[in-house]
Structure 1
Amino acid sequence: MGQVTRIVHRRADPGREKDYEELARGMLEACARAKGYLFSTLIPPRVQGEEFHVVLSFVSQCDLDAWRRSQVAHEWHERIKEVSSHAPEYRTFKTTELWFSASGLTGNKQPPRWRMAIVIWMGIFPIASFYVWFLFPILQSVHSFHAW
């Protein structure tokens, strides 16, 4: 099945942002002990009143589901409800879907793989060529380089 990433968006009640952040960080510390946990992060709002964003990544959907159904997760969510009356918004992705995600495209499908490969190559080839063109003359002047 593969690695999964879950993104949670939730707004803290006005004046409770600091409490929400402390509770969310505590929940992430508890989550780090769950089976299949890979990483997590909390992204605070840029300005007061915006949503917090929590990113959780697990080895598999089964591991994420086990965490979600755990008593520990339930207890942390109950604590967070005390400082946030707003319903959380959840989005779960296969982690590979986050690269070249179609969510930002106006159409309903991703570009073909060959097209993505060409775009990536167009970015890598000029940079690599420049380094070879620029560094090779410098490396030739290094005495140990001639020894090979």
Structure 2
Amino acid sequence: MATQGQASPDYPLTVVISRQVKSGKETEFEALSAEMTTRASHFPGYLGATMFRPASADDPEYRIVFKFAGQAALSDWEQSPERLEVLQQIEQLLITPSERETVSGIVSWFTLPGHNPVQPPPRYKMTLVSWLALYPA
């Protein structure tokens, strides 16, 4: 489990989960992942999710990217019985345990799932660049 960025309760968090599914269990895994997303969508602070299927035999991982409004909302979801029930079923379908990355801030916009994000620049630099880009508009 890797954590990048400086997570803060005030900032949206993006979580990237990488999973390798046992051969022949893909349909069951996708159904359970859809159920997990449906359950998450009922939690306060849930901002959305996307599943990326394996790109090729060289990259056999499913990647699920989901977002929550902040650390408190994410923690509530991660500790919920609704999540733990489905997670237990999903884990039985995996070759290896899930890998998890959490990122916050604008860096998550430019990071491909499963790849380590670059270290974000200092907050004042990002604010200055954002202001310069928006001011002319």
Same fold (TM over 0.5): yes
TM-aligned CA deviation for residue 20 of structure 1: 0.9
Q: Superposition RMSD on alpha carbons, in Å?
A: 2.8
TM-aligned CA deviation for residue 19 of structure 1: 1.3
- How far apart are the structure 1 equivalents of 2:117 and 2:11? 23
TM-aligned CA deviation for residue 17 of structure 1: 1.4
Structure richer in strand, relative to its length? 2
- Percent of aligned pairs sharing the same letter: 22
Of structures 1 and 2, the one with the larger relative CO (CA 8 A, separation 6+) is: 2
Do the aligned residues in 1 keep the contact of 2:16 with 2:102 (CA within 8 Å)?
yes
Residue of 77, 87, 90 corresponding to 1:77: 87
TM-aligned CA deviation for residue 82 of structure 1: 2.3
Classify the secondary structure of the residue corresponding to 1:35: coil
Aligned residue in 1 for 2:45: 36
Aligned residue in 1 for 2:102: 92
TM-aligned CA deviation for residue 113 of structure 1: 2.9
Query: Larger radius of gyration, structure 1 or 2?
Result: 1
Query: How many residues are aligned here?
Result: 118
Q: Do residues 6 (structure 1) and 18 (structure 2) align?
A: no
Classify the secondary structure of the residue corresponding to 1:66: helix
Structure richer in helix, relative to its length? 1
Residues 77-102 of structure 1: CA distance to partner in whole angstroms, max 9, x if unpaired?
A: 0110221142001101113232467x
TM-aligned CA deviation for residue 33 of structure 1: 0.6
Do the aligned residues in 1 keep the contact of 2:108 with 2:117 (CA within 8 Å)?
no
- List gaps (5 residues or longer) in structure 2: 1-9
TM-aligned CA deviation for residue 109 of structure 1: 6.6
- How far apart are the structure 1 equivalents of 2:76 and 2:16? 16
Q: What is the TM-score when the length of structure 2 is the normalising length?
A: 0.72
- List gaps (5 residues or longer) in structure 1: 126-148
- How far apart are the structure 2 equivalents of 1:81 and 1:72? 15
Do the aligned residues in 2 keep the contact of 1:2 with 1:94 (CA within 8 Å)?
yes
Residues 1:51 and 1:68: Cα distance change in structure 2 (over 3 Å): same
